[in-house]
Structure 1
């Protein structure tokens, strides 16, 4: 699952050690039967906002339609409250429903908490643009048009790699429906490892760049009544030929004012879906030629499945463009947006490679004089 509820609070299920030890030498207490690590909390939670301060009645109770995925029923978008580069908030959701708890007060938009009545200023992207104080990434219009806001502003996401499931037909399990023992086979679940940093990116069902997380990477083992292994660490294949291991798009609900760095996307193979290059699957008993974090190859061929229709990893052209942009970061990230605005006003935009080479040369000559 997405685990967005606990992520919003800055909690992520831990490896289960229960450390650090408490004063009496005992382990940390469990929360709902699991140990958790405390990570950075969502900026909205830090401000005292509750789930329903953003999410509407349609988000929670539905709009009368049946959807295959939960996020398809969500009508609220970041831009509904914060606006875009070109426009202030319309005070409506992406589907046109009125935002009843946000209004204009004097020269700013204010969201009122539905539970406690607390006012929360809703910073407008358009206002930042007018004051020329946008960060480098947001000043790039292509970012705003092609990326979900949380592709950069979600600082982490829960990533549980390898969902190892064992079905033991020789042991009796507990039937949670009838609440009786001995009615089912025994099932056990474990995993390979956990991560939270630098979530993988891909294209979500709306055609925008979004974080992707594991969901779910089933690795199946089956033992019969006589103790014979019928299936050992079996990884299924989908009808369209992809590995049954899956990655899916997610809004992690771990938003921060400080976004991911340019390098964390443009020079990070894991963020591109190419994997970190460390985990060797076959040495860990898995009969697959790729690591669990890798969802696409360098030619843009999808390796792992997605359970969301229309979602996919980056294709070859997109991967090449992401990598190529990394060359630009050296100059464009080092200098503030205002500097490049001044350059553009004086020399215009670099519309071709020749002009792009000439402008830095002129800047260097001017700086050395």
Structure 2
């Protein structure tokens, strides 16, 4: 049998010296995957390795997509981005409902979590493509910034409100979209991959494309240009959830049955006291600029066991707000008194203006629009004295107010003579 041993030796030597193309052909002798897109011409081994070190999924976050970043250098830093680590969300859960259920995060919060490059680039790796908005909105939907860009707001929790169009498996309330979305600009127009890999939220700011028009009265005011984010005025609306209730039912079928009209997550039920879709309150962001803020979250918790509440029912675990950028930009803005004579918008609501009586409803806060007992986690509420000064109607304020109304009504001429 010497000739047989010689044949086997020659065969294995040829296999060891095979080119990448030959290796790809050997792969396809068993694997019938059709490869398309930008990687179609590079063969199998550059991504999956050879037969001695084969990697089934070269794009997974477990090894920071080592095979991908061998070519796409630097993009492994995406796994350090907030989208991947979700540090803030983890910490919030840990200091709230996680105190009562150590598995809450794993059971309820891991659906939108960067697991690898294929989360965005899709195709199971063999049909790679650039992410489009629909892929982004698989995670950036509901109460999270993203779906508002396309005019989608979360509906009320009860099933009877679940009607209308679907997106991402959820029905949404159709709203006015962002003017940039109407112009056909996708998410990647501002949020490019290089900026995300660098740890930034976006690669462009408003002023990178737009220069304030000095013919607009608001743009001529130095304090507006220097102290306000552009979207403090130009965000038309934003989803806001006031009072987020998480209820846990254990061996309590009778009391849990009261919530059959609300979607469940195993033993947990979530509902909201109030949802709004209008111009959000204002505060200061981490840069010290005036910015929209909203609850994220004013969280109440009830633990129901054997049909009885354990401890305090509707106990307040957090009253936290977050400065954010609603993706609902429009050319127009609110009128001057939408901010300058509106203490409620700065969480300084007066007793006489109060509509919702939370204390009478068994809740611990006086009002959602009173800052006492609440905080902004990535900024602060605006100083009350500053808000008071803003409400003073100086001659300059009156002049600008009249000019704005004249432009709105089309009467920009001078006033009539006496």
Q: TM bucket by the smaller chain?
A: 0.5 to 0.7
Q: Is the 8 A contact 2:190 2:203 kept in 1?
A: no
Q: 1:20 to 1:215 in 2, by over 3 A?
A: closer
CA contact (8 A) 1:166 1:189 kept: yes
Contact 1:167 1:185 in 2 (8 A): no
Question: Does the alignment pair 1:285 with 2:362?
Answer: yes
What TM-score comes out, normalization by structure 1 length?
0.62
Quote the offset at 1:269 in angstroms. 2.5
Corresponding residue for 1:331? 399
Correspondence 1:231 to 2:312: yes
Q: Which of 251, 259, 263 is the equivalent residue of 1:170?
A: 251
Structure 1 residue 229: Cα displacement: 2.9
SS at match of 2:146: helix
**Which structure carries more relative contact order (alpha carbon 8 Å, separation 6+)?**
1
Distance 1:171 1:287 in 2: 25
Q: 1:207 and 1:250 mapped to 2: Cα distance?
A: 13
Q: Residues 28 and 231 of structure 1: is their aligned pair in 2 closer, same or farther, counting only changes over 3 Å?
A: same
Contact kept, 8 Å, 1:54 with 1:76, in 2: the verdict is yes
What's the counterpart of residue 24 of structure 2? none
The TM-score with structure 2 as length reference comes to 0.55
CA shift, 1:159, in A, is: 0.4
Deviation at 1:260, TM superposition (A): 1.8
- Could you say which structure has the higher helix fraction? 2
How far the C-alpha of 1:34 sits from its partner, in A, is: 3.6
* Number of the residue aligned with 1:77: 205
Unaligned runs of 5+ in 1: 22-26, 66-71, 83-123, 173-183, 237-243, 296-301, 340-362
Q: Residue 245 in 1 paired to residue 319 in 2?
A: yes
* Residues in 1 aligned to 2:174 and 2:160: alpha-carbon distance in whole angstroms: 12
C-alpha distance after superposition, 1:44-76 (max 9, x if no partner): 00101101111222333x21x6xxxxxx64453
SS in 1 for 2:403: coil
What's the CA shift for 1:81?
1.9
**Residues 176-208 of structure 1 deviation map (CA, whole Å, 9 limit, x = unaligned):** xxxxxxxx9711110101111121000000110
Question: Which residue does the alignment assign to 1:257?
Answer: 331
**Cα distance in 2 for residues equivalent to 1:4 and 1:331:** 36
Matching residue of 1:176: none
Query: Could you tell me which residue of structure 1 aligns to residue 376 of structure 2?
Result: 306
Q: How many pairs align?
A: 257
**Displacement after TM superposition at 1:292 (Å):** 1.4
SS in structure 2 opposite 1:293?
A: coil
Q: How does 1:321-360 map to 2 (within 5 A)?
A: 321-325=389-393, 329-335=397-403
CA distance in 2, matches of 1:327, 1:214: 36
CA RMSD across the alignment: 3.1
Match of 2:153 among 5, 12, 21: 12
Matched, 1:148 2:229: yes
1:337 Cα deviation from its structure 2 partner: 11
Distance, in Å, in 2 between the alignment partners of 1:338 and 1:228 is 59
1:121-179 C-alpha deviation (Å, 9 max, x unpaired) = xxx33xx33xxx2x11111011010000000000111101100011223369xxxxxxx
Please give the alpha-carbon distance, in whole angstroms, between the structure 2 residues aligned to 1:326 and 1:159. 33
The alpha carbon displacement at 1:368 in A equals 4.4
- Say whether residues 1:187 and 2:241 are aligned partners: no
